[in-house]
Amino acid sequence: MTQESTMPWVTRSAIITTALLLVAGAAIAKGLEDMPPPAAPAGTQPEPAPEPPAAPSAAPAAAPADGLTPSPAPVEPSPSPSPEEAAQVPSAENEKMAVESEPEPSNTERLLKDNLVIGTSVNLVWADRNSSGWSSSGSGRTGGSDVMVGVNVPNSILNLRKSKKLKFKGTFRYNPVVVAGTYDSKPYRGLWQGYHVGLEGHVKQARFMGWTAVAGVEAGLVFVYLDPLDEFETPTSAEASGAILSAHAGGDWEVAPGIKVGPRVYVGLGSFENYQIGAATNFSF
């Protein structure tokens, strides 16, 4: 075999060998990629996977080209309430000013609030004097009236327990009466004026439709001025004064808030005698 015939065969063999080596290398590389990672030895902790890189922060807003600070966005004002709503819902400042502007009640107002009672009555009266021969019994059934002012007295002042049923009032009563009578067998007419100070008790009786029993005692002075009906000269003894002790009893019914009416009976003894029966009306404040 000659050298010329031998060279083409060698060349062909080298080309085939090179191609096989390239194919084998590619297959080996592919197999290495598909193989799982080797297991970690026993007793060792696997390395943590690396954290993904943080996302880049937003770029700061670009400053205006002229270098001035940008102005904030305008805020729309909230709608103001209507005059009707403002009048219906006063502000806290207005309420505070109203409270501060209210004057504090005086000691007298605190004392009289829910404690003051004013009353009056119309009565049929029998009046006599126990000396000097003066008497109104002959025509003595006369008319009279009185005016009373009362103030509640706490039970503690009287050393009594506080009670909703039992209450006391300190009273002042002015009792003018037109009287007609005889003195030394001569007819006279005049004015009887009584001034009485006392204590009155009230006991509520719920079982009798809100009726309140009333009883009291009084000490007073009486002044009598008589003028003759036949134009004779009035003797000095026809004008007199004296002390009198009185007791009374009756009841009250509340016909309206703060208004009570009821009967009254008075008996007075002392320098003068006085008997009254009538009806009273009281107003509470």
pLDDT at 206 over 60: yes
CA distance 143 to 272: 17
Contacting residues for 140 by C-beta, under 8 A, at least 6 apart: 125, 126, 127, 128, 179, 180, 181
List residues bridging with 274 in a β-sheet: 127, 268
CA distance 8 to 11: 5
pLDDT at 260: 92
Structural contact between residues 134 and 226, judged by C-beta atoms closer than 8 angstroms: yes
Structural contact between residues 137 and 284, judged by C-beta atoms closer than 8 angstroms: no
Please identify which residue in the block is written with the tokens 């029993």.
Answer: 213
pLDDT one-digit tens code per residue, 43-67: 555 555 556 555 555 555 555 555 5
Structural contact between residues 251 and 263, judged by C-beta atoms closer than 8 angstroms: yes
pLDDT at 3: 45
Residue 173's pLDDT band, with cuts at 50, 70 and 90, is very high
Closest CA to 263 of 250, 245, 274: 250
Contacting residues for 182 by C-beta, under 8 A, at least 6 apart: 134, 135, 138, 188
Average pLDDT value over all residues in the chain: 73
pLDDT at 285: 76
pLDDT one-digit tens code per residue, 11-26: 666 677 677 666 666 6
pLDDT at 138: 36
List residues bridging with 145 in a β-sheet: 122
Residue 9's pLDDT band, with cuts at 50, 70 and 90, is low
> Side chain identity at 284, as an amino acid letter?
S
Domains and CATH numbers, the chain: 116-275 (2.40.160)
pLDDT one-digit tens code per residue, 218-260: 999 998 887 777 665 655 556 778 899 999 999 999 898 889 9
Structural contact between residues 169 and 156, judged by C-beta atoms closer than 8 angstroms: no
